[in-house]
Amino acid sequence: MRTVWVELGEGAYPVEIGHGLLGRAGELLGPHLTGSKLLLVSDSQVAPLYMERAAAGLAGERCIVEPLVVPAGEGSKNLANFGLLLEALAARRFERGDAVVALGGGMISDLAGFAAASYHRGIAFAILPTTLLAMADASIGGKVAINLSQGKNLAGAFHQPKAVIADLETLRTLSTAQLIEGLAEIVKIGILYDAELFASIERDQASLLIPKLELFPAVVARAVELKARVVARDEREAGARVLLNLGHTFAHGLEAAGGYRRPTHGEAVLLGLIAAARLARNLDLLAERDQSRIELLAASLVHRCRPPAIDLERAAQAMLFDKKTAGGKLRFVLPRAIGRAEIRSDVPRSLASEALHSLQSLWS
């Protein structure tokens, strides 16, 4: 088992990465959760696979585990299910010392985490991620949220978990598309901070998609280490953490245009990375060789998913509602090289639109 700490002073917490950890969830979370009740939140796809194992691993003499299952899919990350979780916590008489545990992917950790942040003005929260995306990205950093009809993650909070327990055995049940969802974020963080991590995905992408589980401890731990460093420096996204939005201004517009069904978040991030690299190249910020490598890797992964054609004009309009808009101007994170990026608020809207619409070539 590998342990990576997210260093936030008194709020520091461990990310445990290894095999067979769901059955040890109570042992591993015990030092971090002190209440007598846990609301174990999952979705309709994950619950049949892992709810019983996780509940058994969490249960103990002093701990009552209350399960709650919502429908699978990004569409469940809404006001109705947020209210459902709050009502469940109140009806089951959860107190301030009790906790919410999210079992599943990023949708569940977002929804459950936002409920935990809101109930009694904040109760403890832990995550048992079951997807590569959640292990490498969504579970780290305390950003929790739900979607509104106007856009993605528009209602939310910063609420750090007490611990994250990533059982790599759960990756066995993921589809190729779900593995690509996670690899998208790992590719992104490689572009931002680690050329060697990026090169390892270039080299091993076929084996990672089998998946060869022996490759994942190092890949997941490195991605978590890199994100943890950023979160430790900028917990509430006031500065350096904004860089983690590389590709996401485009991606969130694409997701909104698809009604949060297709493209999936990972597909949209890969398309957003291509658009960001093309925009950076057009602004003479990025060398042609690095732009080509980013595009080749991202396109190779996204083409395996075959996302449907997207209404790019609708995506362009949705980008205007992005949370990263400041003073009416969109902020873009753009790569300067593989391993380095910067934030730009001076990008002409025409060039941003051109980069977005250039994605049409991927469906031609």
Catalytic status, residue 143: yes
What is the predicted pLDDT for the residue at 326?
Answer: 56
Torsion of CA 83, 269, 40, 36, to 10 degrees: -90
Contacts of 13 (CB under 8 A, 6+ apart): 5, 6, 32, 160, 161, 162, 163, 164
Mean pLDDT of the chain, nearest integer: 93
Closest to 276 measured CA to CA, from 241, 305, 252: 252
Q: Does 303 qualify as catalytic in the annotation?
A: no
pLDDT digits (tens, 9 = 90+) for 267-279: 999 999 999 999 9
Low-confidence ranges of the chain (pLDDT < 50): none
Among 10, 61, 121, 288, the active-site one is: 121
Q: Tell how strand 13-18 and strand 164-167 pair up.
A: parallel
212 catalytic residue (yes or no): no
Place of tokens 């790019």: 312
Whole-number pLDDT of residue 211:
95
The one catalytic residue in 66, 74, 181, 185 is: 185
Beta-carbon neighbour count of residue 317 at 10 Å? 13
Mapping DSSP to helix (H, G, I), strand (E, B) and coil, where does residue 105 land?
A: coil
Model confidence, pTM? 0.90
- Examine the residue annotation and report whether 37 is marked as an active-site residue of this protein: no
For this structure, is 265 an active site residue?
Answer: yes
Q: Give the domain ranges of the chain.
A: 2-173, 176-363
Instruction: From the candidates 37, 53, 222, 227, give the one annotated as an active-site residue.
Output: 227
Is 241 catalytic? The answer is: yes
Q: Which CATH class is domain 176-363?
A: mainly alpha
Query: Is residue 227 flagged as an active site residue?
Result: yes
153 assigned to active site: no
Q: Is-catalytic flag, 121?
A: yes
Tokens 């090289």 found at:
337
**pLDDT of 150:** 81
Fold topology of 2-173: Rossmann fold (3.40.50)
Quick one: pLDDT at residue 322? 62
Please tell me which residue in 37, 159, 265, 278 is annotated as part of the active site. 265
Of 53, 188, 222, 252, the active-site residue reads: 252
